[in-house]
């Protein structure tokens, strides 16, 4: 589909004055691709849930767009004991929920109790650390008592999973909590949700406790509509024609065109910390051989994938986390495998993997046909096919099976496959490593079956370190270990790109959990 | 007439039963387990077993089907596994936009198709005839998604006249009407072709008949001959065609609704099937089947009105 008429159309539209479809000056429509299954902060791990929850609710602490600085939000200050076991949060006075009820330390305690309660079955409870108790000595103080130090705690508390909720609201709605309503303390309030269609939020009047990373403490628009538009071309032209004022869900193919459009701003941040990779089950006959995993790492041309599939808009990845992430081990920068198909063939030959009559390698009766499970959809189908083509050139015949996201998570928890495709957001190296490489997280999210006691010890050391240098060292060791074992095939790091109408002030893209608009406070009409 | 309608309604009972069975069986066959969808991927096996027992999934398939039938008969379609809303409320919210889209599409495309076909038949062999036929073939051959994308390209982007995302409200409001135009026009375009072609051939047939010659011999004006004596009889096969095409239209509506983010049944069906939301998927299949039955009933009634011989 040619896009050249669009610009002409634009010139025409501008010549005629404003486009026929102009929104009221205080409402904003954000288009996105998928909806969440619910908006219960402790039960959904979908980005689609987090991006709305950040706007509807608040966490004790916030995160600066630099992804390193923790800033006050519901807590105006906090202190940590020397042993790293006790965190004391001092809450701001005068915070209230959307329904007008005053928020106190009791609500914070209730939130964490529910999060950690086994009955809640929260898939993200591990993020809270090994908690002894959370108590409220007075209405404005919360004491967070740990059994073991948890160096990532403050970062984890900035995530939407730690959004402070209202007990009365949870109990009144029961299973409909986060489905028919949600009472939070955020800059916006729940107005209406029609699943798979729209989520409407209205400004929270009287909200003054926004994090200091924005120019203003409160929301600058009266209403936000999150509109689901599954078709990516439609999302693109929606931004071009001003039917949607802002979005982070535009396809890479349209980036250059959006940058050229006179009425659209494109803001980008490379510290997005969202990485795509393919992991190997290290105990399966085909990919159990480290040489095979190394060969796969050498055979795939990440730079070509970034250029051909993503129009050069993404960063080819050779490391498992972005090299800009906290605690990345720069000592292994030069050891990361780069594209070298000749070397891949050479090491496979030397290892005894010989080509059979079909052009596929074999060794000891095992044919090199690893089965890869990926998510159905345009992203992974293109990506998996590109990897498949590169691997075939060195005699590895990767088989692809794709599943819709709703089924895929269940399938990925099995032992049926040899390789799997995945992408994930993280705030730091430790965040990623603890999620994927702990032996206790087998079979999922540790789908590689990476079972290594030394890794576990180092991860625990990093997690419980009370000193930044100690933590960096422990995590650096793990990074070195897993990179040397070729447990993954890193593919690319996705940047955060936000396209917005020039009617809005430019926003600073945020990267927390891949939610570019974070609290939504930065969304404001230019005067 | 009344007897006929009652007869048709009776006949639709086994059809409905078949649809219920098919919908139930189809969802038995697709990969994915409702209990897993409900519990989430991280749920331990004992929780899954408890949920399966709770949902009656541990029973034999026939027993499950019987339970499903009795629930549906009682008007209980269950709850969505994804949003926990009742299926009835999800369907209720989606039916209105779909009906709006259907009516908005048929409202202009059927009269236009009949008009074009009649004109082509009367001016047989002329340039007008050729043009109408060319347009019809084009309308039949172009895939609906392509028409939708072209419509967005020209009337949403090149000349930004109409919005193309979602529904703006009921069609009688300005915003609602503007949002309805592009999807209704795109969907109608695939409908004009078959209607115009069928009308043309049917009118040509009728114009050869004796009663038309008689009407001409009586000295009636050409216009009244064509409209009163020709068209009324020629419309009978067209009505049948419209009824048959309605199914095709429902299929087209699924694509159209997806592209225009129109919150209707088609989009709900796709979303439900993709997200393994079994109760909602079954509900949408049932609604689509019901609408088929209703459309066919309407066709039969129109038939009787148009053709006195059927009324017998």
User: How many whole angstroms separate alpha carbon B108 and alpha carbon B112?
Assistant: 6
Judgement on whether residues B208 and B232 belong to the same structural domain of the protein: yes
Out of B36, B84, B152, whose CB is closest to A410?
Answer: B36
- Domain presence at residue B312: no
The residue of B96, B156, B273 whose CB has the most chain A CBs within 10 angstroms, and thus the best one to mutate to test that interface, is B156
C-alpha distance from A118 to closest chain B C-alpha (Å): 11
> Residue A196 region, left (φ>0) first, then alpha (ψ -120 to 50), else beta?
left
CA distance A220 to A216: 8
Cβ pair A6:B82 closer than 8 A: no
Report how far residue B173's alpha carbon sits from residue B14's, in angstroms, rounded to the nearest whole number: 41
**Is B250 an 8 Å CB contact of chain A?**
no
- pLDDT (0 to 100) of residue B282: 87
Range of the domain at B171: 88-306
User: How far lies A430's CA from each of A76, A155, A232, A461, A477, in Å?
Assistant: 26, 11, 34, 11, 11
Give B157 to chain A, closest Cα distance, Å: 6
Please, what is the average pLDDT of chain B?
A: 85
pLDDT at position A160: 96
- How many A/B residue pairs have CB atoms within 8 Å? 123
Within an 8 Å CB–CB cutoff, is residue B133 touching chain A? Answer: no
- List the Cα angle A401/A403/A409 in 5-degree steps: 115
| Cβ A366 vs Cβ A286: under 8 Å | yes
- Stated as kind and residue range, the H or E segment containing A436 is helix A429-436
Residue A496's alpha-carbon distances to A46, A249, A440, A511, B12, in angstroms, are: 17, 10, 32, 7, 54
Cα distances from B23 to residues A407, A477, B5, B26, in angstroms, run: 19, 54, 26, 5
Is A412 in contact with B41 (Cβ distance < 8 A)?
yes
| Number of structural domains chain B divides into | 2
Q: State whether B219 and B159 are in the same domain.
A: yes
Per-residue pLDDT of A199-222, as tens digits, reads: 999 999 999 999 999 999 999 999
pLDDT for the residue numbered B41? 59
Cis amide bond preceding A43, omega within 30: no
**Cβ-Cβ contacts under 8 Å for A293 (sequence gap 6 or more):** A280, A282, A287, A485, A486, A487, A489
Domain membership of residue B82 (yes or no) is no
Nearest CA-CA distance, residue A421 and chain B, Å: 16
Q: Which helix (H) or strand (E) holds A12?
A: helix A4-15
The token pair that represents B289 in the structure block: 């089947």
Q: Smallest CA–CA separation between A43 and chain B, in Å? A: 9
**In this structure, are B258 and B163 located in the same domain?**
yes
B154 min Cα distance to partner chain A (Å)? 9
Distance CA A406, CA B10 (A): 39
Q: Does B120 share its domain with B142?
A: yes
- Tell me which of B74, B100, B119 is where a domain ends: B74
Judge contact between B141 and B252, C-beta under 8 A: no
A224 neighbors A30 (Cβ within 8 angstroms) = yes
Chain A residue with CA closest to B30: the answer is A407
3-state secondary structure of A233: helix
Interchain CB distance below 8 Å, A38 and B160: no
Give A261-288 pLDDT, tens digit per residue. 999 999 998 778 899 999 999 999 999 9
Report if residue B4 sits inside a domain: yes
pLDDT tens across B15-43, in order?
888 888 888 887 778 766 777 777 665 56
Whether residue B273 sits in one domain with residue B211:
yes
Task: Please check whether the domain covering A27-263+502-514 is classified as CATH 3.60.20.10.
Answer: no
Q: Do A8 and B158 touch (CB under 8 A)?
A: yes
Q: What are the pLDDT digits (tens) for A78-90?
A: 999 999 999 999 9
Higher model confidence: residue A105 or residue B208?
A: A105
CA distance B259 to B257: 6
Helix (H, G, I), strand (E, B) or coil at A247: strand
E-assigned strands of A81-130? 86-91
Give me the residue spans of the domains in chain A: 27-263+502-514, 271-495
What would the pLDDT profile of A385-422 be if each residue is shown by its tens digit?
A: 999 999 999 999 999 999 877 677 778 888 999 999 99
| Chain B residues touching residue A444 (CB < 8 angstroms) | 41-42
In terms of DSSP bridges, do strands A223-228 and A198-203 run parallel, antiparallel, or are they unpaired? antiparallel
- Residue (of B127, B154, B140) closest to B191 by Cα position: B140
* Structure confidence at residue A25 (pLDDT): 52
Average pLDDT score over residue span A378-382: 87
Whether B79 maps to a domain, the answer reads no
Q: What are phi and psi of A68, to 5 degrees?
A: -125, -35
Name residues 161-180 of chain B within 8 A of A (Cβ). 161-166, 178
Q: What is the pLDDT of residues A296-317, one digit of tens each?
A: 999 999 999 999 999 999 999 9
Nearest CA to CA, how far is A37 from chain B (Å)?
Answer: 5
Interface contact flag, B261 A194, Cβ < 8 Å: no
pLDDT of residue A7: 42
Which fold is adopted by the domain A271-495?
Answer: Dipeptide-binding Protein; domain 3 (3.10.105)
Contacts with A, B 179-238, CB within 8 Å: none
- From the list A506, A486, A464, A491, the residue with the least C-alpha distance to A129 is A464
Residue B189: burial class (beta carbons within 10 Å; 0-12, 13-18, 19+): buried
Angle at A457 between CA A454 and CA A463, to 5 degrees: 140
Which residues, in sequence order, are bridge partners of residue A71? A62
The verdict on B48 touching A (C-beta cutoff 8 Å) is no
Where a domain ends, among B52, B74, B96? B74
* In-domain check, residue B83: no
| pLDDT tops 50 at residue A11 | no
B289 within a domain of the structure (yes/no): yes
pLDDT(B246) > 90: no
- Which chain B residues are Cβ-neighbours of A244 within 8 angstroms? 165
Q: Smallest Cα–Cα separation from A436: which of A294, A209, A282?
A: A282
* Boundary (domain end) residue, out of B41, B74, B107: B74
Q: Which positions in chain A touch B256 (Cβ < 8 Å)?
A: none
Token duo for residue A9: 């159309």
Q: What is the C-alpha separation between B50 and B36, in angstroms, rounded? A: 11
The per-residue DSSP string of B186-202 comes to HHHHHHHHHHHHHHHHH
Helix crossing, B87-122 with B127-141: angle to 10°? 160
Judged by CB atoms closer than 8 Å, whether chains meet at A195 and B163 is answered as no
Q: Using the structure block, give the residue that is written with the tokens 């690893």.
A: A370
In whole angstroms, give the CA distance from residue A388 to residue A397.
Answer: 7
Radius of gyration, CA atoms only, chain B: 24
Instruction: Summarize pLDDT for B259-291 with one digit per residue, the tens.
Output: 898 989 988 888 888 777 888 888 888 888 888
Q: In the predicted model, is pLDDT for residue A527 greater than 50?
A: yes
HEC readout, A45-56? CCHHHHHHHHHH
The long-range contacts involving A502-505, CB below 8 angstroms and separated by at least 24 positions, are A502/A262, A502/A263, A502/A264, A502/A265, A502/A526, A503/A242, A503/A245, A503/A263, A504/A28, A504/A245, A504/A246, A504/A265
* Cβ proximity of B265 and B272 under 8 Å: no
In the three-class reduction of DSSP (H, G, I as helix; E, B as strand; rest coil), residue A467 is classed as coil
C-alpha distances in angstroms, A212 versus A62, A207, A217, A218, B250? 9, 13, 7, 10, 52
Quick one: B161 and B288 in the same domain? yes
Q: State if pTM tops 0.85.
A: no
Q: DSSP string of A151-162?
A: TTHHHHHTSGGG
Does B81 reside within a domain?
Answer: no
- Residue B178, domain CATH: 1.10.3720.10
- Torsion angle of the four alpha carbons A101, A102, A106, A107, in this order, in degrees rounded to the nearest 10: 60
Q: What is the pLDDT of residue B49?
A: 81
In 3D space, the residue among A21, A49, A197, A500 whose CA is nearest the CA of residue B260 turns out to be: A197
Which of B158, B259, B271 has its CB closest to that of A9?
Answer: B158
- How far away is chain A from the Cα of B138, in angstroms, using its nearest Cα? 19
Query: Which of A16, A49, A122, A231 is the best residue to mutate to test the B interface, defined by the most B CB atoms within 10 Å of its own CB?
Result: A231
What letter would DSSP give residue A423?
Answer: E
Residue A3 clears pLDDT 60, i.e. is over it: no
Q: Which of B84, B162, B276 sits opposite A175 (nearest CB)?
A: B84
For position B82, what pLDDT does the model report?
Answer: 72
B262 touches A: beta carbon within 8 Å: no
Q: Please give the Cα distance from A105 to B47 (Å, whole number).
A: 33
With a cut of 50, say whether residue A295 has pLDDT above it. Answer: yes
Q: φ, ψ for residue A191 (rounded to 5)?
A: -110, -55
Residue of A19, A123, A197 lying closest to B40 (CB–CB)? A123
């Amino acid at each position: 589909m040619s896009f050249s008429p669009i610009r002409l159309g634009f010139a025409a539209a501008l010549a005629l004055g404003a486009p026929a479809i102009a929104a009221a000056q205080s409402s904003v429509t954000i288009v996105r691709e998928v909806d969440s299954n619910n908006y219960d902060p402790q039960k959904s791990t979908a980005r689609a849930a987090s991006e709305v929850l950040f706007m509807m609710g608040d966490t004790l602490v916030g995160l600066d767009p630099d992804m390193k600085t923790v800033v006050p939000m519901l807590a105006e200050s906090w202190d940590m004991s020397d042993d790293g076991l006790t965190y004391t949060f001092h809450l701001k006075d005068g915070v209230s929920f959307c329904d007008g009820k005053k928020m106190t330390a009791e609500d914070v305690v209730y939130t964490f109790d529910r999060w950690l309660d086994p009955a809640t079955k929260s898939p993200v409870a591990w993020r809270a650390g090994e908690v002894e108790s959370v108590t409220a000595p007075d209405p404005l103080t919360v004491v967070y008592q740990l059994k073991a130090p948890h160096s990532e705690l403050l970062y984890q508390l900035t995530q939407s999973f730690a959004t402070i909720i209202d007990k009365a609201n949870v109990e009144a709605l029961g299973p409909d909590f986060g489905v028919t309503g949600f009472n939070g303390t955020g800059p916006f309030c729940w107005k209406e949700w029609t699943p798979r269609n729209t989520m409407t939020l209205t400004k929270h009047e009287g909200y003054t406790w926004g994090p200091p990373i924005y120019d203003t403490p409160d929301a600058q628009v009266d209403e936000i509509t999150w509109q689901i538009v599954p078709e990516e071309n439609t999302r693109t032209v929606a931004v071009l024609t001003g039917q949607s004022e802002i979005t982070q869900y535009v396809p890479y193919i349209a980036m250059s065109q959006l940058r050229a459009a006179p009425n659209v701003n494109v803001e980008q941040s490379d510290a997005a910390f969202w990485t795509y990779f393919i992991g190997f089950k290290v105990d399966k006959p085909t990919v159990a051989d480290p040489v095979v995993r190394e060969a796969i790492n050498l055979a795939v041309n990440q730079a070509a994938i970034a250029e051909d599939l993503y129009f050069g808009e993404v960063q080819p990845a050779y490391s498992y986390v972005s090299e800009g992430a906290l605690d990345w081990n720069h000592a292994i920068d030069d050891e990361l495998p780069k594209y070298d198909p000749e070397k891949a063939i050479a090491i496979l030959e030397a290892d005894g993997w010989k080509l059979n009559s079909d052009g596929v390698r074999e060794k000891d009766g095992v044919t090199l046909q690893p089965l890869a499970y990926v998510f159905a959809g345009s992203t992974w189908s293109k990506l998996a096919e590109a990897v498949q083509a590169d691997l075939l050139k060195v005699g590895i015949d990767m088989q692809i099976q794709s599943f819709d996201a709703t089924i895929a998570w269940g399938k990925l928890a099995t032992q049926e496959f040899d390789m799997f495709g995945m992408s994930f957001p993280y705030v730091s190296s430790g965040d990623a490593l603890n999620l994927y490489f702990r032996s206790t997280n087998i079979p999922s999210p540790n789908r590689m079956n990476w079972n290594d006691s030394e890794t576990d010890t180092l991860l625990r050391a990093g997690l419980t370190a009370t000193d930044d240098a100690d933590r960096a060292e422990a995590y650096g060791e793990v990074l070195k270990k897993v990179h040397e074992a070729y447990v993954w095939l890193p593919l690319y790091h996705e940047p955060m790109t936000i396209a917005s109408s020039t009617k809005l002030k430019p926003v600073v893209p945020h990267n927390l959990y891949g939610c570019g608009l974070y609290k939504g406070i930065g969304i404001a009409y230019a005067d | 007439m009344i007897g006929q309608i009652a007869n048709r309604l009776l006949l639709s009972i086994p059809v409905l039963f078949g649809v219920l069975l098919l919908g139930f069986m189809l969802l038995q066959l697709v990969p994915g387990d409702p209990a897993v969808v409900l519990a989430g991927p991280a749920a331990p096996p004992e929780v899954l077993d408890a949920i399966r027992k709770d949902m009656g999934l541990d029973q034999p398939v026939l027993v499950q089907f019987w339970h499903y039938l009795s629930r549906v008969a009682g008007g209980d379609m269950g709850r969505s596994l994804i949003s926990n809303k009742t299926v009835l409320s999800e369907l209720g919210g989606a039916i209105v936009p779909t009906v709006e889209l259907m009516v908005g599409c048929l409202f202009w495309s059927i009269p236009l198709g009949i008009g074009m076909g009649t004109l082509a038949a009367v001016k047989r062999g002329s340039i007008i005839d050729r043009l109408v036929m060319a347009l019809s073939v084009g309308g039949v051959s172009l895939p609906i998604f392509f028409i939708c994308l072209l419509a967005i390209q020209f009337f949403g982007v090149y000349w930004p006249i109409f919005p193309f995302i979602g529904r703006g409200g009921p069609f009688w409001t300005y915003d609602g009407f503007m949002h309805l135009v592009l999807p209704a026009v795109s969907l109608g375009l695939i409908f004009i072709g078959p209607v115009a072609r069928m009308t043309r051939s049917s009118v040509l047939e009728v114009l050869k008949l004796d009663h038309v010659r008689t009407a001409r011999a009586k000295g009636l004006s050409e216009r009244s001959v064509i409209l009163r004596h020709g068209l009324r009889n020629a419309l009978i096969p067209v009505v049948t065609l419209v009824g048959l095409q309605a199914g095709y239209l429902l299929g087209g509506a699924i694509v159209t609704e997806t592209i225009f983010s129109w919150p209707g049944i088609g989009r709900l069906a796709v979303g439900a099937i993709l997200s393994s939301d079994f109760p909602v998927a079954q509900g949408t299949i049932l609604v689509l089947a019901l609408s088929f039955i209703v459309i066919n009933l309407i066709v039969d009634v129109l038939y009787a009105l148009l053709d006195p011989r059927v009324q017998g």
